[in-house]
A and B are shown apart, each in its own frame.
Chain A
Amino acid sequence: MIAVWMLTWKELIRKKVTLMTLLLTILFWIAFYFIAQSAGASVSQYDSGIISLDNLLDRFRGSAILLWIGFFFASFATGFLAIFSSVAAITGEAEHGVLQSVFARPIKRTHWYMGRWFGFVTFCLAYALILFVSILIIVTYATGVHPDWSAIGPALALFISPVLLMVTLTMLASCWLAPLGNGVAMVLLFGMGWLGTMLDRVIAAGMFTANESTKTSDTMEVVSGLIRLLIPTDALQQRMLSELYQVKHLGQTFSSRDALGYFSIVNPPSDAFLYYTAVYFLIFLIAGLFVIRRKDF
């Protein structure tokens, strides 16, 4: 399993996946740093030396919006990296006859599958960790406001969990779908997660609150809920942001919905949803192991 894991890293490095990802990430860092710095400067120019609650809330609001923007990029960067690194894991290799020669070796197919899974997941997690830390550093440095340190651990766990889900789903789907079809399917599925949050945002904005629109609002809520159940990735992102935005010391004085507008956190999922996601993940991981054991090549 370790040999397969190491080979997966070698593949991701040699195929220039790492290089291209890092280059684009550096571009993002540069752009994000300048945005964060100018936002930080505009907040601090009203600072007269005495930190009032309003000033503190302004700074916090600026920081929260910057985090939202940063993690929006980070969410699709890690999601797409998870999808496209593992998109050809099974059928792609079987098409080239590589898998046939590997499975003729005295190893269990499930070990090979887990080796690949660990390879993709650890690679994407390393990248996700770098992004997570870098975004926090840039925002803290630029605005002078740091998130609640006690929330960092849970937030990081929530931030990386979509990587686990997307690698698991993409590897399972690649047991049947060719790389191109799998890539398209997984991107659409991942994008559907965003759609669910978008629907929640529309509902939260009160655009369908009139009596005649109640039905529309209800339907959208059901659809959004179903989408979240189908692909929980963006819901986890919302929960992650909600963890980061929660500053206990501010109590009720800060409402993300009122203060952040479009960048507010909508409908962050409950703990029960997190348990659902854990079961969802385990089911698809076990399904992958089950399928690979029985698949004909």
Chain B
Amino acid sequence: MSYAIETFNLTKNYGNGRGCHDVTLRILAGEAFGFLGPNGAGKSTIVKMLIGLTTPTDGKALLFGQPAGSVEARRRIGYLPELFRYPGWLSGEEAMQFHAQLCGMKGTEMKRRINQLLDEVGIGKRGRDRIKGYSKGMQQRLGLACALLTDPDIVFLDEPASALDPVGRYEVRELLQRLRKEGKTIFLNSHLLEDVEQLCDHVALLNNGRILADGRVSDVLRASASRWRFRVGGMTPELLDWLRETMIIPVDIVPWEDGDTPAWGEHWLEAELAEDEQAGYFNRLLMEQGLALYETQKVKSSLDEWFLQAVSGLEHRGENR
């Protein structure tokens, strides 16, 4: 299996402590890769080096075996930058035509592709309007359409759903799922870990410019065991001890948040279960002990938890540092 993206000790030193150091990544062709990290971790710097917008201080990066930033490598990529704004005096169609011409597209094939993509991202006929009249979400959709113009092998997306409403997010997620099925390599920079979890096969976590963790999403999620929460009434310390002994698993009481006013004996219990089926058994045990069971829920987005656990307690150079 060939690698779509390979970096070897990729380093960018801006001289102010920012940048990234010795980043080594291998992303398989056709893989959806999620790049995670707190703000200021250096994610965008790495993406820019892969695109060729920034020159590495040290190390190297290859895209399908071609040096990152070379014209040959750029022929195979699509890129949606973060916080971009296309010129308001152009129409969506014109902006896409310009990008298509830069890629050597022309004639009816170019027009057909532009119309197809404008429809796919939900802009449609409004592509003829000037961009200055577009909402942030529409601009984001246009950026996505532009990134996909050449039917690229690798798509770099920097926060693709950041300005979208829930419907837009869903549509983008669907579009990315389709690209993944088509065998495209997706490099996704996103703070929406739910999206990363649903789309990506492979994630890496960057902090202070260094890779903290790198692995397959399924492995990451397996490592952080499935956790469930149960809201119960009438809980006593004795009953809690009994539950722990019976289930032979850690069961904890989750502290109430400020402002919550629980009834007497009402608690959230949290248990790490090896399988989801154990949740039913746990429910039955609670009720057999005469406890009131108000609510049962699975702790969602394990990637969120994994992310928080991985960076908690670590120094990181966020925007407020």
Contact = CB atoms under 8 A, between A and B. Distances in A.
A297 to B, nearest CB: 4
A100 B89 contact: no
Contacts of A96: 84-87
Given A11-B87, A15-B89, A294-B55, A105 B99 contact: yes
Given A106-B71, A107-B102, A100 B55 contact: no
A100 B90 CA distance: 17
Given A11-B87, A96-B85, A97-B84, A296 B53 contact: yes
Nearest to A109: B52
Given A7-B98, A296-B54, A297-B53, A104 B74 contact: yes
Interface string A1-24: 001100100110011000000000
Interface in A70-105: 96-98, 100-105
A15 B80 CA distance: 25
A108 B54 CA distance: 14
Contacts of B146: 101
Nearest to B147: A101
Interface of B: 48, 51-55, 71-72, 74-75, 77-87, 89-90, 94, 98-99, 101-104, 143, 146-147, 156
A149 to B, nearest CB: 42
Nearest to B99: A105
Interface string A258-297: 0000000000000000000000000000000000001011
Contact of A104 (B51, B72, B86): B51
15 contacts: A11-B89, A15-B89, A97-B83, A98-B87, A100-B51, A100-B84, A101-B143, A104-B74, A104-B77, A104-B79, A104-B81, A104-B156, A105-B99, A294-B55, A296-B54
A175 to B, nearest CB: 14
A102 to B, nearest CB: 7
Contacts of B54: 296-297
A296 B90 CA distance: 26
A121 B197 CA distance: 51
B143 to A, nearest CB: 7
A51 B148 CA distance: 75
A10 B89 CA distance: 9
Contacts of B89: 10-11, 14-15
Contacts of A108: 71
Given A104-B51, A106-B74, A294-B55, A98 B86 contact: yes
A101 B84 contact: yes
Contacts of B83: 97
Given A3-B102, A7-B98, A103 B52 contact: yes
Nearest to B14: A296
B102 A102 contact: yes
A65 to B, nearest CB: 42
Interface string A112-132: 000000000000000000000
Contacts of B74: 104-106
A294 B69 CA distance: 12
Contact of A3 (B51, B55, B87, B101): B101
A294 B52 CA distance: 10
Nearest to B97: A3
B160 to A, nearest CB: 13
Nearest to B73: A106
A15 B89 CA distance: 7
A15 B88 CA distance: 10
A96 B72 CA distance: 26
B134 to A, nearest CB: 14
Contacts of A101: 79-81, 84, 86, 99, 143, 146-147
A100 B53 contact: yes
Nearest to A100: B81
Contacts of A98: 84-87
A14 to B, nearest CB: 4
Most A-side CB within 10 Å, residue of B74, B81, B143: B81
Contact of B71 (A3, A14, A107): A107
A57 B316 CA distance: 80
A108 B102 CA distance: 10
Nearest to B101: A3
Contact of A105 (B85, B86, B103): B103
Contacts of B48: 100, 296-297
Contacts of A15: 89
A96 B79 CA distance: 15
Given A107-B71, A108-B71, A97 B79 contact: no
A110 to B, nearest CB: 12
Contacts of A106: 71-72, 74-75, 102-104
Given A14-B89, A101-B143, A297-B54, A3 B77 contact: no
Contacts of B98: 3, 7
Contacts of A102: 99, 102
A296 B53 CA distance: 6
A296 B75 contact: no
Given A11-B89, A106-B75, A108-B71, 13 more contacts: A96-B84, A96-B85, A96-B87, A97-B83, A97-B85, A100-B79, A101-B86, A103-B53, A104-B53, A105-B102, A106-B103, A297-B53, A297-B54
